Amino acid sequence: MRAKNGFTLIELLIVMGIIGLLAVFLVPNLLGAKDRGKETAVKAVMHSVQLAVEAYQMENETYPLDNNVALESFCNNYLMPGGYMASVPKNPFTGAAYKDADVAGKIIYGYDQNSGKYTITGYGRTALRKILELTNM
């Protein structure tokens, strides 16, 4: 009698099928994890901006009176001159300081003078999907 060395073709096909099924279910989840992490970092930047806006309001007794302004301009015009933020935050998607032209991770500030309400809106990789909207109401 001869000893059996190695695997049969059926055993190899079963193992390859199981690995294939795992790849089908796991790869899409792993690819999206990177973007979800960057979106969480955008939310953290938004909270920092909100704290700076509230500090601005405490000192000036009004919120910044600007509408639909991107984060770079907002920081340069309102938050950095008063010392509420030291610099323009880094965009988690690009790794560089926010620019007004950024699409990925875009953050927009808006103020409605009629209601006295501001909104800070953050977007994901594309500027089509909101990930968070912060307000003072």
| Averaged pLDDT, 125-133 | 89
Domain count, the chain: 1
The DSSP call for residue 88 is P
Rounded to an integer, what distance in angstroms lies between the CA atom of residue 134 and that of residue 115? Answer: 15
In the chain, the amino acid numbered 91 is: N
The pTM score is: 0.80
Model pLDDT, residue 128 = 85
Rounded to an integer, what distance in angstroms lies between the CA atom of residue 58 and that of residue 92? Answer: 29
Q: Which stretches does DSSP call E strand in the chain?
A: 69-70, 107-112, 117-123, 130-135
> Which one has a higher pLDDT value, 3 or 34?
34
Residue 117 has pLDDT above 90, yes or no: yes
> Which one has a higher pLDDT value, 27 or 108?
108
Q: How far apart, in Å, do the first and last CA atoms of the chain sit?
A: 83
Would 15 be classed as within a structural domain? no
Would 28 be classed as within a structural domain? no
Rounded to an integer, what distance in angstroms lies between the CA atom of residue 99 and that of residue 61? Answer: 28
Would 70 be classed as within a structural domain? yes
Would 41 be classed as within a structural domain? yes
Provide the total of helices (H) and of strands (E) in the chain, helices listed first: 2, 4
C-beta separation of 133 from 120 below 8 A: yes
Would 48 be classed as within a structural domain? yes
Model pLDDT, residue 7 = 85
Would 7 be classed as within a structural domain? no
Q: Which domain holds residue 108?
A: 34-135
Model pLDDT, residue 2 = 66
Q: Give the model confidence (pLDDT) of 13-67 as tens digits.
A: 999 999 999 999 888 888 888 889 999 999 999 999 999 999 999 999 999 999 9
Rounded to an integer, what distance in angstroms lies between the CA atom of residue 64 and that of residue 107? Answer: 15
Would 58 be classed as within a structural domain? yes
Would 2 be classed as within a structural domain? no
